[in-house]
Structure 1
Amino acid sequence: MNWLPLTLPDRYEHDGIEFVPLTPALLHADYAAVMRDIPMLRAWSGQDWPTPEFTAAENLLDLERHDREQRDRVALTYSVLLGGAVQGCIYVHPFEQAWRTRDLDPPVLAVGDVAVRGWLHDRPAVDLVQATLNFLSAPRFAFPRLWWQTNDHCPAQIDACERLGLTDELSVDGTDRRWLTRAAPENGTQL
């Protein structure tokens, strides 16, 4: 499935939030960001990742997997930088696959839509969602529709979606939380 452009941007910046491809070259900076707030990331991911014992070597394996998925055009993963330091990450998948990465059966939706989820330290969730949607709304991507994926353990992200007019919602109850995606109304203007 050719859902990604042939050439992906090496860098995108919006309002002081910078996106660069997540590669093994960012190992130490990414590891520091991941280990900085384990409870936040576990609430966001809905998993027991990362554990307090998570090592840089394990993180390297994750980064190699993300880099391989991007090269194979399976997923798109960008580090999010503030002031040149890694402070978060975004993950983009075809809509159906985004749900499967959470071990959930996806709601039925048009082919070509994508879901993005992400996390960021030191800036409000609304800034991350806004910058991410600006980045992925660029003509180079030509996604039919962008959905922000989160869960009910991340109320700031849900509020950010509401503030940005992402009011169309599809949700699925997981084992311990409600997973949802939000998008601009289909006949509305995103951002």
Structure 2
Amino acid sequence: MFDETAAIPSGLHHDQFVAAPLTTDTAALDYESYMASPHVIRAHSDGRWPVEGFTLADDLKLVTKHQADHENRRAFTFVLLAPSLREALGCLYVNPLREYLQRAGADRRLLDAVPSASALVTFWLRQDQQDTGLADVVVEAVNDWLLTEWPLTTHVFRVLPDERSSCRALDQLDLRKTRLSLPGDTRPYIWYQPSA
């Protein structure tokens, strides 16, 4: 997604949340947030992510992979923390868009139109933060951050219709909403990208 010289932001500090790289040091906070949000996790992952019987040890394995991907600049996972840094509010993922589109069977015309420095952005917020207005704050701040501080040509947000707070927050921004027909991924994703 990025060449070796591109500077990647270390995090995002906002008065209502902090986005910090997800590491084994924050895994326990991430796990607590994840387990407190079964309906959110099912909606966000379309039922693909485990909830029942999912342990901290299971989470640590995933976090270790996310941390390695982040450190090796393959993909970037951030834990969203409360300003106190004592509670996780959710997670943010900045992944290579072209790689996802290739896996999902996008046609050559679409792949050729997508610059290499393009990101697929997804996020979830813990269950007790739904309908609190936090999604609006996160979406606006993250979109601005990606536009101004990341070495990206473009980015897109991806959500599923059942992620209602996230959809409402994205609908309120000046973003173009679209659907993509991808033979390798038939989920009804909604895509949002900056208008300019």
Cα RMSD (Å) of the superposition?
2.3
Q: What aligned pairs does 1:11-160 form with structure 2 within 5 A after superposition?
A: 11-83=11-83, 84=85, 85-99=87-101, 104-106=104-106, 108=110, 109-111=113-115, 112-121=117-126, 122=129, 123-124=132-133, 125-139=135-149, 141-160=150-169
Contact between 2:161 and 2:189, CA under 8 Å: does it hold in 1?
yes
Contact between 1:104 and 1:172, CA under 8 Å: does it hold in 2?
no
Contact between 1:130 and 1:164, CA under 8 Å: does it hold in 2?
yes
Q: Given the alignment of the two structures, is residue 181 of structure 1 paired with residue 181 of structure 2, yes or no?
A: no
Alignment partners' CA distance in 2, 1:6 and 1:131: 21
- Residue range with higher mean Cα deviation, 13-22 or 64-73: 13-22
Of structures 1 and 2, the one with the larger relative CO (CA 8 A, separation 6+) is: 2
- Residue range with higher mean Cα deviation, 125-134 or 103-112: 103-112
Q: TM-score, normalised by structure 2?
A: 0.82
Q: Provide structure 2 residue ranges, at least 5 long, that are not aligned to the other structure.
A: none
Equivalent residues, number: 182
Shift in alpha-carbon separation, 1:7–1:25, aligned structure 2, 3 A:
farther
Shift in alpha-carbon separation, 1:134–1:15, aligned structure 2, 3 A:
farther
Contact between 2:140 and 2:173, CA under 8 Å: does it hold in 1?
yes
Alignment partners' CA distance in 2, 1:77 and 1:18: 13
**1:63 Cα deviation after fit:** 0.3
Contact between 2:156 and 2:191, CA under 8 Å: does it hold in 1?
yes
**1:4 Cα deviation after fit:** 7.3
Shift in alpha-carbon separation, 1:75–1:5, aligned structure 2, 3 A:
farther
Amino acid at match of 2:98: E
Alignment partners' CA distance in 1, 2:11 and 2:156: 22
Contact between 2:175 and 2:192, CA under 8 Å: does it hold in 1?
yes
- Residue range with higher mean Cα deviation, 16-25 or 164-173: 164-173
